[in-house]
Structures are given as C-alpha cells and as structure tokens.
Homo-oligomer: A and B are copies of this chain.
C-alpha cells in the first residue's frame, strides 16, 4: 500500500505532531540535531526527518508514537497560552458565519495568546491579512511568537494599541472582538468595517450579551444573532458507543452582526 500512495516525508523545518499510545501529544518543529525529551523516552529529530508522515516510530525506551502533521485543532490546543483560547468548535463556526476566506482582510482585538489569530491567518492566506490589536505588550509578544513558530506571522500585522483610539483599517471584510467590554468599541469597529462587513464577538456571561446586543442596535449594526455551540465527544468503541462522561459545558456565547450604512437624514 505504501507503494501505491504518494509517500510524503517529514522534512527539516516541518511542524510535526507526535502522539503516544496514551494519546499524550507534542507539537515540534523538526530541526536537524534537536531532541525531544518525554517521560517515555527521548526522540531525536534526525530519526524523524526522512520518515513518511503517518508512520509509527519509537522512543529510545521503546514506546511507540505516531508521526503526524498537526490539525488546526491540534495547533490551537497545544498553543502556548496565558489566556483562555477560543475553542476550535467556535473558531470553525466563526469562519463560516463571517465568511473568512482566502484573501480576506480581518481585524481582531485582542490578540490574546494568538489562538484565533492563527486560525484567521491560515484561512485568509496567502493574499489576505489579519490585523491583530492588543494592548498588553507581553500578550502581544506571546501571540507574535506563537504565530512565528507556526510560520503564519507573515499574514498578520500585530498592533500594540488601545482600541478605544480606533483601528487603522477601513473597509475590512470582518472584525472580531474578544474583549470584556465590546460595547465600548462599536463606533470604532463600525468605522473599520466595510459596508455590510461582518462583526463577531464571543462573551462568557449572559449579562454581557444583553449589554452588547443593546449597544449594537444603537450603533448601526443589524442582523444580530446570538448562538452557542455545544461539542459532545463519544468514546469511539464500536461495540460500546456512548458519549464521554463529561464535557465542556460552556466556552462562550457567539454574537454576530453586520455593519449597516445609516440612512441619510
């Protein structure tokens, strides 16, 4: 079967996901001469480079692991972070609701740890751009470092800025706010968006949602929607298929709206 299929080989500088039989996983960038140290033994990058993706290999202690390319879900879950991350289930839906596609110009604030930034950057690349605002220097530093690590920094302009001063962009296709008080930045957001542009936000509490949608109505936004997604995972055992015992019950409420052109008086 190997002969039949295009064998693609792990190469120097590739991102790799290593998954042990206990499903414990690591994401590394392959570098000649480097090593990964795990509680189940050491893996030399040189022993990975040149192997086909999808291969089972072994640590020096004999523990098996899989050599894979990471999914976007893996990238987000493994991101170095100091903040709550937007979950993949929410991020995927945001892409669809806000039509974030190759070539789009997307504004986001704040950058946070860069979880949503990486998803936006991937989705709009190579021709599009993400303009990512953050007011905390250390946080911006982390997001930038994460995006550089993933090879996506070229598609992002990081801006260290309090967005109450407004965004530099205008005519943006989409703008996403992941901040505590989005209602304070609606005029700025409207100014940055193209006519009819996509506005999105994620908020944890119902009180914030009420406050935001009230403010949106008064700020020339329309088509307001509030939604939430619940992800339920199953134990993948053919003869005993059943949901996992526990699940994440809440990540946040998603709010979407469109920037309208106010009627001239």
Distance A242 CA – B228 CA, assembled complex (angstroms)? 12
Q: Please state if B68 and A258 are interface contacts (CB–CB under 8 Å).
A: yes
Does A55 interact with chain B (Cβ within 8 Å)? yes
With A and B bound together, what is the CA distance between A122 and B235 in angstroms? 32
Residue contact A195 to B231, C-beta cutoff 8 Å: no
For A199-217 the 0/1 string (1 means CB < 8 A from B) is 0000011110111011001
- Closest chain B CB from A163 CB (angstroms): 16
| Segment 54-93 of A: residues with Cβ below 8 Å from B | 54-56, 66-73, 76, 88-89, 91-93
A154 close to chain B: CB less than 8 A? no
Collect the chain B residues with CB atoms within 8 Å of residue A191's CB. 1, 4-5
Asked whether A207 lies within 8 Å of B241 as measured between CB atoms, the reply is yes
| CA of A259 to CA of B214, assembled, Å | 35
Note all chain B residues with C-beta closer than 8 A to A19. 223
Q: How far is the CB of A5 from chain B (nearest CB, A)?
A: 5
Contact B250 A248 (CB under 8 A): no
A36 part of interface (Cβ distance < 8 Å):
no
Q: Which residues of chain A (95-140) have a CB below 8 Å from chain B?
A: 95-99, 101-102, 119, 122-123, 125-126
Roughly how many angstroms separate A198 CA and B206 CA in the complex, as a whole number? 26
- Of B76, B91, B235, B246, which contacts A246 at CB under 8 A? B246
